[in-house]
Amino acid sequence: MSTIHVPVLQDEVVALLAAVRDGLFVDATLGLGGHASAVLAAAPGLRLIGLDRDPRALELARERLEPWSDRVCLVTRPFADLPEVLDELDEERPIAILADLGCSSLQLDSPGRGFSFLADGPLDMRMGASGPTAADLVNNAEEEELMRILWKYGEERRSRAIARAIIERRRHRPLTRTGDLVEVVLGVLGPGRRGRIHPATRTFQAIRIAVNDELGQLERFLEPAAERLAPGGRLAVISFHSLEDRIVKHTLQRLEGRCTCPPDLPVCRCGTRSLVRRLTTKPVRPSEAEMRANPRSRSARLRAAERVEDEP
């Protein structure tokens, strides 16, 4: 493979997932197959179903996973579709599920995909091959909607000013290139200071999240994934910003389940169900050595949980 891809927290993922017994492993965000290949190499008894909505990523992942092709099945679907995919394939309950929520190097480093503010390209940002693009969003959304997206998904303090600048710019000509959006943001925020994050970082993050419904996908994925795990199976999720990590943290806390009834009530009435046991009460972060070798790993957070036995 000519595309360089360095999976983050690879050793930690392998330690968590390759330790389970033989069975089905689902990489719900396969990307270029870095984590999947490491887990398959370490666990000869695991079969893989790999999901990704990026057809090009699946092509490259198939090359990478060729040594284990007899135990690999790849499906072009978003990760929130996991329950439907398992039903369609009439598969057993997985013993391991992984979701790496970050963009792949393939996406970030391809100007034609429009994910990066560092290189000019079409204003696309879609992880898949269908649906509205980032250009569709910024050229058609109302000012209030743009402001909401920039604030909610990018935590951009100047969200209103940037939204107004986008509206003003598109009155004269549409934004079609990543450079157009960078120009608008810099016109509001200025060039930024050396050593700080690029001024367009939060805006690009927010629009990418909105275009791909990333947080909605995550919310629809987590509980059904935990439900589908076999008893003793493990779920691992790698997030790359606080919005994702917050959803993962709170969902796993809720699925761990603790009775909220008054202590003097003889029978539980709250209906809280313990579905998983958290394996990480705090997120696992990359080592200093990994962050030096792969700066893109610096914001990664890994949380994991183990499915408890089914209630009788």
Residues 6+ apart with CB under 8 A from 87: none
Give the pLDDT of residue 267.
76
Per-residue pLDDT tens over the stretch 146-205: 999 999 999 999 999 999 999 999 999 999 999 999 999 999 999 877 667 899 999 999
Q: HSE on the CB side for 171, CA within 13 Å?
A: 8
Residue boundaries of the structural domains of the chain: 10-106+214-307, 114-212
Looking at residue 305, its pLDDT comes to 98
3 state DSSP class of 141? coil
What is the per-residue pLDDT for 1?
Answer: 44
What's the pLDDT at 258?
67
DSSP string, 66-99: GGGGGGEEEEE--GGGHHHHHHHTTPPPPSEEEE
Cα 67 from Cα 37, distance rounded (Å)? 9
Q: Helices marked H in 117-198 — which ranges?
A: 134-140, 143-154, 159-172, 178-189
Cα distance between residue 203 and residue 158, in whole Å: 10
CATH class of the 10-106+214-307 domain in this structure = alpha beta
Q: Which fold has domain 114-212?
A: DNA polymerase; domain 1 (1.10.150)
Residues 38-94 have pLDDT tens digits of 999 999 999 999 999 999 999 999 999 999 999 999 999 999 999 999 999 999 999
Would you say 75 and 50 are in contact if contact means Cβ atoms under 8 Å apart? Answer: yes
Task: Give this prediction's pTM.
Answer: 0.90
Residue 90 near residue 77, CB atoms below 8 Å: no
